[in-house]
C-alpha cells in the first residue's frame, strides 16, 4: 500500500526532531534534505538545515542554503543576515536586514550587533536602550555589557551625553565600566577597577565554571592588557612592559589582542630598539585583523608603523604611509607634521614651512599645533629667525599666550635683540589689559615684564609695569620694593617718597625663627665663618678680642729650589729630559732574536747564500758590518750635570772572571 506524502513528511519530521534534540547536526542536515527533496516549500526544514550548518561553523554553506530556498527567501532574512555577519560581510548583512519587514526581538539584537561593527554607535545605543526597556530574561546582563561597550566608544568619539549607570554585577560590566573611566581620562580609578575585575573574573571562572588555570588566564588576558595600557598612560612603562610580556608568554589565541600588545610595546620603544619594534610591527599589521579591530585601533597601529619608518630612515615608505593616514580627517594634522619632519630632515626648511603654512590656512582647528610644529622643525635646524617669524605670524589670541610670549623673549635674547624682547612683552601686557584677562594671568605677565626690564636697564618701562601690578594688589610688599628699586635708577625723589610706605622692620621680623634660619644655611657656612675668625651670631664665645684684627699674620717663607749636586748652569738642559727613555732620539732598541731566521747550513739555499754564511769567506766583511751595527749611536746631551767618570777596574761581581 502506497504511503501518502503527508505521512512521509510526518515520519521525516519525527526523525528530524529526535536528531535536533540529540544535537546530531550532520544527521540533521541529511534528514532536512529528505524533507526539502519531498517539499521545497517547507520552511522548518530549511531553518533546521541552516541552523545545523551554523552550529558546525559552516557559514558559507549556510548562506548558500539561504539562497537556494527561493520560496522562503523573505522568511529566512534573519538567517541570511546572520550568516553574512559571521562572514564579516557587515554591509551586506545590514542591507539584508533593511530589506526585511521582520521586527522581532532577535532581529533587533542582530541589528544592534551589526550597527556596532559598522561603528554607528549612536544608532546602536538607541537600539540597545529599546531592547533593554522591552525585555527581561536570562540574557539581560549580556545586553547591559554590550550597552556599556557602546557607551565607551561613544565617549571615545567625544559624545557628551554618553551615560549608562548600571550596577556592575559581573566582571564584564566592571571591565567595561573601567573602560568608560579610561575614556573620561580617569586613569587611576580605571586601573583600580580593572584590578577588581581581574579578581572577580578569576574567582567566578574557577569556582562557578570550574575552568583550569590556563583557561582562566586566557579569559583574564584582555583585562591585564587594559591594565598595562593604564600603567603606560601613567608613565609606569616598565610595569606595563612586564605585564604585556607576561600575557604574551601565555600565547593567547586572540590575534587582535596580540596585535594590540605589540603595538603598545612599539609605542614604548619609541625611537630605541627599532629591530625589536620591526618584528612586533609585523605581528600588529598581519592580515586578517581588519575585521577584528576598530577603525581607531587600526589607525593607531598605522600611525606607529609610519613613525617607525621615520625612525629607521625609510623616507619614501614613511611618506607613502603618511599620505594614507592623511585620508582620515582626525589624523590629517599628524600626517602633515610627519611629512614636514621628513622635509626638515632633508634640510628643505622652506618647503616644510610652506607645507605647514598651507595646511594651517585650510584647517583652522589644527592651526596652533601646525604652527608649533613648524617652529620646532626650524629650531631643530638652527633657524631661529624663521622660528620667530612663524610665532609672530600667530593671531593675537595665540601669540600673546604666556608660553608663546616666553618662547619669543628667549629666542630674541639668543639673538641679543633686547628691543624685540621688550616690544613683545609690552605688546602682550597691553593686549591682555585691553581684553581684560583674569588678574592672576595678567599680574604674572606684568611681573615677568618688570623683571626683564629691570635686568636689562629699562627702569622706566619696568616701573610702568609695576605700577599696573600694584593696582591689582596695593598691599604687596614685594611689588613695592621692586618699584622703589626701579624709581631709584631714574627718579630718586619718587623712590624716597615710596620708601615711606615700606613697613617697619619690627613688623617684618616678627615671627622669624632664628634657629631655623641658621640651620637652613647648613654647617658648611658656619665652618667657613669660624675658619675666617668671624663670630657666629649664635655663639658669643667666638667674638674677637680687641686688637685681634691688628695682628699681622706671619708670611710663609718660600723654600729654595733644590738643585742637583753636580748641577752646571753653563750646560744647556736636554730638551727631551722629561720624555720616557724609549721615546728619545738616541734610544737603541734591543735585538729581538726570537723571530729572526736562523741559518742552519746551506741545504736548500743558493751558492750565494752559502757563501754568505761561510765564515772563512766573509771574515773581513763580517767584521766590517758588525762594527757598523754595534757601534753606539751618539746620544743626545743629557741634563746639566757634570757626570763623574767611573774608575776603570771597578769591583767585580761575585763569581765574575
How far, CA to CA in Å, does 611 sit from each of 111, 523, 615?
A: 110, 88, 8
Q: Residues 322, 328, 334, 337: what is their CA dihedral angle, to the nearest 10 degrees?
A: 60
pLDDT of residue 113: 94
Cell of 345: 630632515
Name the DSSP class of 323: H
Our measurement of the distance from residue 245's CA atom to the centroid of its chain's CA atoms, rounded to an integer in Å, reads: 18
pLDDT of residue 67: 92
pLDDT of residue 367: 83
CA distance 275 to 297: 23
pLDDT of residue 2: 60
CA distance 196 to 188: 13
Count, residues in the chain: 657
Apex CA 651: angle with CA 645 and CA 655, to 5°?
140
CA distance 66 to 83: 9
CA distance 47 to 69: 10
DSSP H or E stretch at residue 108: helix 105-117
Q: Which residues contact 60 (CB under 8 A, 6 or more apart)?
A: 83, 87
Mean pLDDT of the chain: 80
DSSP code per residue over 501-558: TSPPHHHHHTT--HHHHHHHH-HHHHHHHHHTTPPPTT-GGGPPPTTGGGSPPPPPPP
Q: Which residues contact 106 (CB under 8 A, 6 or more apart)?
A: 78
Using an 8 Å Cβ cutoff, are 633 and 627 in contact?
Answer: no
Cell of 547: 686688637
CA distance 286 to 252: 16
Q: Residues 454, 457, 463, 468: what is their CA dihedral angle, to the nearest 10 degrees?
A: -60
How far, CA to CA in Å, does 1 sit from each of 4, 9, 10?
A: 9, 17, 17
Our measurement of the distance from residue 318's CA atom to the centroid of its chain's CA atoms, rounded to an integer in Å, reads: 19
pLDDT in tens, 86-124: 999 999 999 999 888 888 899 999 999 999 999 999 999
Q: Residues 74, 76, 77, 80: what is their CA dihedral angle, to the nearest 10 degrees?
A: -140
pTM recorded for the entire structure: 0.66
Tracing cell 622669624 back to the chain, one arrives at 512
CA distance 490 to 107: 86
pLDDT of residue 635: 41
DSSP H or E stretch at residue 479: helix 477-487
pLDDT in tens, 407-434: 898 898 888 888 888 888 888 878 887 8
CA distance 45 to 322: 54
Give me the average pLDDT of each 10-residue run along the chain (657 residues).
78 91 92 90 92 94 92 90 94 91 90 93 91 85 88 84 66 90 92 93 82 86 95 94 94 92 94 90 89 90 93 92 84 88 89 87 81 88 89 87 87 87 83 76 78 80 79 79 84 83 67 71 57 47 46 65 80 84 78 54 52 50 38 40 43 41
Domains and CATH numbers, the chain: 1-102 (1.25.40.10), 406-504 (1.25.40.10)
Amino acid at each position: 500500500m502506497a504511503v501518502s506524502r503527508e505521512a512521509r513528511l510526518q515520519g521525516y519530521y519525527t526523525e528530524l526532531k529526535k536528531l535536533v534534540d540529540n544535537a546530531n547536526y550532520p544527521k540533521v542536515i541529511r534528514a532536512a534534505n529528505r524533507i526539502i527533496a519531498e517539499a521545497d516549500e517547507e520552511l522548518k526544514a530549511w531553518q533546521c538545515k541552516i541552523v545545523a550548518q551554523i552550529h558546525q561553523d559552516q557559514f558559507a554553506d549556510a548562506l548558500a542554503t539561504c539562497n537556494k530556498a527561493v520560496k522562503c527567501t523573505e522568511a529566512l532574512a534573519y538567517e541570511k543576515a546572520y550568516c553574512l555577519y559571521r562572514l564579516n560581510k557587515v554591509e551586506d548583512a545590514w542591507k539584508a536586514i533593511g530589506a526585511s519587514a521582520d521586527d522581532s526581538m532577535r532581529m533587533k539584537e542582530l541589528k544592534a550587533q551589526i550597527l556596532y561593527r559598522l561603528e554607528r554607535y549612536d544608532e546602536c545605543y538607541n537600539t540597545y536602550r529599546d531592547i533593554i526597556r522591552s525585555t527581561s530574561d536570562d540574557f539581560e546582563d549580556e545586553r547591559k555589557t554590550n550597552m556599556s561597550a557602546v557607551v565607551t566608544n561613544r565617549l571615545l568619539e567625544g559624545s557628551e551625553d554618553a551615560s549608562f549607570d548600571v550596577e556592575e554585577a559581573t566582571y564584564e560590566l566592571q571591565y567595561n565600566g573601567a573602560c568608560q573611566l579610561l575614556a573620561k581620562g580617569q586613569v587611576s580609578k580605571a586601573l583600580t577597577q580593572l584590578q577588581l575585575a581581574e579578581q572577580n573574573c578569576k574567582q567566578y571562572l574557577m569556582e562557578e565554571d570550574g575552568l583550569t588555570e590556563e583557561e582562566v588566564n586566557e579569559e583574564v588576558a584582555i583585562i591585564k592588557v587594559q591594565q598595562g595600557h593604564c600603567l603606560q598612560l601613567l608613565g609606569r612603562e616598565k610595569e606595563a612592559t612586564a605585564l604585556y610580556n607576561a600575557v604574551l608568554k601565555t600565547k593567547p589565541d586572540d590575534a587582535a589582542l596580540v596585535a594590540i600588545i605589540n603595538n603598545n610595546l612599539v609605542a614604548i620603544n619609541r625611537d630605541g630598539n627599532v629591530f625589536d619594534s620591526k618584528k612586533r610591527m609585523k605581528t600588529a599589521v598581519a592580515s586578517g585583523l581588519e575585521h577584528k579591530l576598530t577603525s581607531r585601533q587600526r589607525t593607531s597601529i598605522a600611525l606607529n608603523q609610519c613613525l617607525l619608518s621615520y625612525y629607521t630612515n625609510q623616507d619614501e615608505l614613511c611618506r607613502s604611509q603618511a599620505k594614507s593616514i592623511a585620508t582620515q580627517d582626525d589624523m590629517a594634522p599628524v600626517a602633515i607634521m610627519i611629512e614636514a619632519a621628513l622635509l626638515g630632515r632633508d634640510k628643505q626648511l622652506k618647503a616644510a614651512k610652506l607645507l605647514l603654512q598651507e595646511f594651517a590656512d585650510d584647517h583652522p582647528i589644527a592651526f596652533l599645533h601646525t604652527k608649533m610644529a613648524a617652529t620646532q622643525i626650524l629650531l631643530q635646524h638652527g633657524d631661529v629667525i624663521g622660528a620667530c617669524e612663524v610665532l609672530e605670524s600667530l593671531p593675537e589670541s595665540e601669540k600673546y599666550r604666556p608660553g608663546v610670549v616666553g618662547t619669543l623673549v628667549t629666542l630674541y635674547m639668543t639673538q641679543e635683540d633686547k628691543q624685540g624682547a621688550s616690544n613683545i612683552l609690552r605688546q602682550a601686557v597691553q593686549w591682555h589689559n585691553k581684553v581684560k584677562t583674569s588678574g592672576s594671568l595678567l599680574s604674572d605677565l606684568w611681573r615677568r615684564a618688570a623683571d626683564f626690564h629691570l635686568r636689562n636697564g629699562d627702569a622706566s618701562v619696568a616701573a610702568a609695569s609695576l605700577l599696573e601690578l600694584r593696582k591689582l594688589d596695593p598691599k604687596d610688599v614685594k611689588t613695592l620694593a621692586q618699584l622703589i628699586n626701579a624709581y631709584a635708577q631714574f627718579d630718586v625723589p619718587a623712590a624716597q617718597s615710596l620708601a615711606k610706605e615700606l613697613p617697619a622692620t619690627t613688623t617684618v621680623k616678627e615671627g622669624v625663627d632664628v634657629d631655623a634660619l641658621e640651620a637652613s644655611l647648613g654647617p658648611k657656612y658656619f665652618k667657613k665663618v669660624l675658619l675666617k675668625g668671624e663670630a657666629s651670631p649664635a655663639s658669643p664665645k667666638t667674638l674677637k678680642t680687641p686688637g685681634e684684627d691688628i695682628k699681622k699674620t706671619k708670611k710663609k717663607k718660600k723654600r729654595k729650589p733644590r738643585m742637583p749636586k753636580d748641577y752646571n748652569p753653563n750646560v744647556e738642559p736636554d730638551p727631551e729630559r722629561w720624555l720616557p727613555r724609549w721615546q728619545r732620539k738616541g734610544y737603541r732598541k734591543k735585538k729581538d732574536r726570537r723571530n729572526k731566521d736562523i741559518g742552519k747550513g746551506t741545504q736548500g739555499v743558493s751558492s750565494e747564500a752559502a757563501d754568505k754564511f761561510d765564515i772563512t769567506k766573509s771574515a773581513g766583511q763580517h767584521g766590517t758590518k758588525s762594527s757598523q751595527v754595534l757601534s753606539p749611536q751618539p746620544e743626545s746631551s743629557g741634563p746639566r750635570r757634570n757626570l763623574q767618570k767611573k774608575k776603570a777596574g771597578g769591583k767585580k761581581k761575585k763569581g765574575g772572571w
